[in-house]
Amino acid sequence: MTIDLRNSTDYEVLRAAKVLARLAEVAREVQVDFLVVGATARTIISIGLLGTPPERQTKDIDIATEVDSWDEFERLARLLDERKGVHKFVVAGAEVDVVPYGGVERVDRTILWPGDHKMNVLGLREAVDSAETALLPDGVSVRVPSIPALALLKLFAWQDRHYDDTRDAVDLVTITKWYSSERYLDRLYTEWLDVLERFGYDPPLAGAWLLGGHMSDLLDDEAVAVLLDVVGNGDLMGRLARTWPRSELPSW
């Protein structure tokens, strides 16, 4: 599917287009591909689906890039405008986080940053495989995760940093709501009617169930086992439920 925002006048979309154009230029020079993730992907999908940005806004732009080695990541890093940390940069006036995956991944699908900081990158490769194209102003074309892939990334991020902040839980609320909104609501009443019937014609509940199934469809058996460990963790899911706004809790 293509998300067409070429005529958007939204400030965040225009800002992202400018920054991503510069990132694309550098990525082409190093001959690597990247995927827009995080808040910018969330904004692009929200505007494409609903016509409005999500309530929670952040200034950072996050991308994930597939590299063969840490040396290749460093070649990319050296070409970016200003380095503020190991993976933090300023590009075209905006703060950018660059997360590598691919050849730098360890067997457990993590990467190890300098200083022995471990980061889970499970879901990035899968997000690329199911990515959608977003057309932005000024001829900028980028790849963003599908909704199930973005939900996966947010769930794994929640596992990693749920003790520190609640932003991933807030984003999971937003993403889950998307699956019973606009064209997804139409699909619930057409091609997914059996699921809607199964859940008593409760669109948010049926949509949440479908989203979970589509998330697991992106993963191989080994990664599904990791996902099941996450959703089967009572403490982790309990914290998520307590963070979830009461007004947004599914009707179960």
Q: What is the pLDDT of residues 220-246, one digit of tens each?
A: 999 999 899 888 888 888 888 777 665
Q: Quick check: 198 and 216 in contact, CB under 8 A?
A: no
| CATH architecture under which domain 1-145 falls | 2-Layer Sandwich (3.30)
- Reference 32, options 71, 88, 90, 1; nearest CA is 71
- Whether the per-residue pLDDT at 160 is higher than 60: the answer is yes
Question: In Å, how far are 62, 113, 175, 207, 251 from 39, measured between CA atoms?
Answer: 7, 22, 12, 22, 27
DSSP 3-64: EE-TT---HHHHHHHHHHHHHHHHHHHHT--EEEEHHHHHHHHHHHHHSS--S---S-EEEE
CA–CA gap between residue 170 and residue 55 (Å, rounded): 10
The token duo for 118 is 């471990």
- Whether the per-residue pLDDT at 248 is higher than 60: the answer is no
Give the Cβ contact number of residue 133 at 10 Å.
Answer: 12
Q: What is the pLDDT of residues 11-22, one digit of tens each?
A: 999 999 999 999
In this prediction, residues 148-165 reach a mean pLDDT of 85
- With a pLDDT cut of 90, the percent of the chain lying above it is 72
- How much is the pLDDT for 241? 77
- Whether the per-residue pLDDT at 147 is higher than 50: the answer is yes
The token duo for 173 is 């609320």
In this prediction, residues 163-176 reach a mean pLDDT of 82
Q: Are strands 132-136 and 117-120 parallel, antiparallel or unpaired?
A: unpaired
Grade residue 252 by pLDDT with cuts at 50, 70 and 90: very low
Grade residue 57 by pLDDT with cuts at 50, 70 and 90: low
Task: Pinpoint the residues of the chain covered by CATH 3.30.460.
Answer: 1-145
Greater pLDDT, 90 or 168? 90
Grade residue 251 by pLDDT with cuts at 50, 70 and 90: very low
Q: Can you tell me whether residue 67 is helix, strand or coil?
A: strand
Q: What's the predicted TM-score (pTM) here?
A: 0.90
Q: What is the pLDDT of residues 67-99, one digit of tens each?
A: 999 999 999 999 998 999 889 999 999 999 999
Q: What angle do CA 219, 36, 226 make, to 5 degrees?
A: 25
- How much is the pLDDT for 240? 80
